[in-house]
Amino acid sequence: MSLVHALKSKRNQSETICRALRLYLAGEDEFSLANVRTRMLLAALQARTDVSNQLKAVITAELTSGSE
């Protein structure tokens, strides 16, 4: 997948670019899960097929609670 296609699939393209530039300028160009927001991790887990329905229900409750 090209960079352009990957970027088009992102929900907030401006935020994605800004975060990437901040990491690049800070010299942190390696990916780390520590830099991923918790809500993004939860959303990714919710979309996986190997996560139980119980855990998905808890994740859904957390994501819809509006807490950040």
Give me the pLDDT at residue 68, please: 54
pLDDT over 70 at 67, yes or no = no
Give me the pLDDT at residue 57, please: 95
Dist CA 53 CA 61 (whole Å): 12
Q: Which two tokens stand for residue 21?
A: 């530039």
pLDDT over 60 at 1, yes or no = no
36 near 45, Cβ under 8 Å?
A: no
pTM listed for this prediction: 0.53
Single out the residue of 57, 60, 17 nearest to residue 39, CA to CA.
60
pLDDT digits (tens, 9 = 90+) for 7-61: 677 777 788 788 888 877 887 667 778 878 888 899 899 988 999 999 999 999 9
